[in-house]
Amino acid sequence: MRDVAIVGVGLMKWGELWEKSIRDLCVEAALSCFEDAGNDKIDSIVVGTMASGLLTGQEHMANMVPDYLGKKHVPAMRVESACCSGSQAVRTAFMEVASGMSDCVLALGVEKMTDVSGNDATYALATASDQEFEAFHGVTFPGLYAMMARKHMEQYGTTREQLAEVSSKNHRNGSLNPHAQYPFPMTREQVMNSTLVADPLRLMDCSPITDGAAAVLLVPATDAKKYKKHGMVVISGVGHATDTIALCQRKDMLKMEAVTLAAKAALKMAGKTIKDVNFAEVHDCFTIAEIMIMEALGIVKPGQGGPATLKGLTALEGKFPVNPSGGLKSKGHPVGATGVAQICEAVYQLRGEAGKRQVKNAKVGLTQNMGGTGGTSVVHILEAK
């Protein structure tokens, strides 16, 4: 198996992009990626999107993307794994390059979420849950994560202030990110005083509805030397695992086993432990999710995610920065694009190109993306070479 490097990344300003179609988002991110790499000759395309048909009416994304990108004869495929679709696109592209099947693959994630009503967007997102045991009975993702948050509070003593600090910290980081949907600071008090959504979660504990795309270009590490615009970044580890789709069927709703297993596999492949990692981009779809993911990854022990966040462990200047990009909370969450954008941020950090949000001495980064309540999770380990 060949070592794989990322030689180009492409992002765009995320938000409520009324004037842009889903094809516009794809093309803008891809062209930005090509410009970053200094190359637009590709062998293959992998597109990650969760619900383009429900949200825009556009299926057959594997045909539309190469067509409107001016690459109509290039083979392409679409992958879907709910909010983990973007990471699955990168993982698939990685395997294609590592296997020797292709020498240059574009992995692209996209979602256009604001062309439908709030109710229709909620319906589309609910398709990532168990339809018979959860969605049919009216349980939404805010409700599911609220149950996880309430149990975490009762079992470990996690506080409302600790949850709020996750959001506040990520907004501080996002205020330094030119691509973020909500690039402004947010105090803990503002988070705790925002509208109640599902007790104990409030509006500012929840990631937003977002339009956006992101892209990365993968090549064999031996070929990366040809791309002299940036320092080399390699994907040294990849892990993927699943759990029950329904939260009620897990032995313990506070254990994200898919996250733990995916991380163990990725770290083993990279020959690393979590202590070797300098920063992480994780799937903070809700504030409680970041806290539980920290515990599942082994950054802190179970029950210590809240106190560690409040003490500054995960702040940009802390010992283990989490979500320097601003995370899903501030940067935004166009569900199919999130996993690819996490990779982009890791590359910026490892190149030393993250500007005011740059993590000091960033040599090894981890990205963790998941679908549903953690039913699917993909972890990537990236290293500066």
333 catalytic, yes or no? Answer: yes
The predicted structure's pLDDT at residue 263:
98
- Catalytic-labelled residue, pool 171, 230, 333, 380: 333
CA distance 325 to 359: 10
- Catalytic-labelled residue, pool 26, 33, 83, 84: 83
Residue type, 287: T
The predicted structure's pLDDT at residue 290:
98
Q: Count the Cβ atoms, other than its own, within 10 Å of residue 166.
A: 29
pTM of the predicted structure, to 2 decimals: 0.98
240 catalytic, yes or no? Answer: no
Length of the chain, in residues: 385
Q: Which domains does the chain have, with CATH numbers?
A: 4-117+210-226 (3.40.47.10), 119-206+235-384 (3.40.47.10)
The predicted structure's pLDDT at residue 222:
95
The predicted structure's pLDDT at residue 228:
75
Find out whether 241 and 257 touch, Cβ atoms under 8 Å. yes
Q: Please give the full DSSP string across 297-361, using - where no structure is assigned.
A: HTSS-TT-HHHHHHTTTTSTTSSS-B-TT-HHHHH---TTTHHHHHHHHHHHHHHT--GGGPPTT
The predicted structure's pLDDT at residue 297:
98
Query: Could you read off the pLDDT tens digit of each residue along the chain, which spans 385 residues?
Result: 999 999 999 999 999 999 999 999 999 999 999 999 999 999 999 999 999 999 999 999 999 999 999 999 999 999 999 999 999 999 999 999 999 999 999 999 999 999 999 999 999 999 999 999 999 999 999 999 999 999 999 999 999 999 999 999 999 999 999 999 999 999 999 999 999 999 999 999 999 999 999 999 999 999 998 887 788 999 999 999 999 999 999 999 999 999 999 999 999 999 999 999 999 999 999 999 999 999 999 999 999 999 999 999 999 999 999 999 999 999 999 999 999 999 999 999 999 999 999 999 999 999 999 999 999 999 999 999 9
371: left (phi over 0), alpha (psi -120 to 50) or beta: beta
CA distance 206 to 167: 9
3-class DSSP state of 372: coil
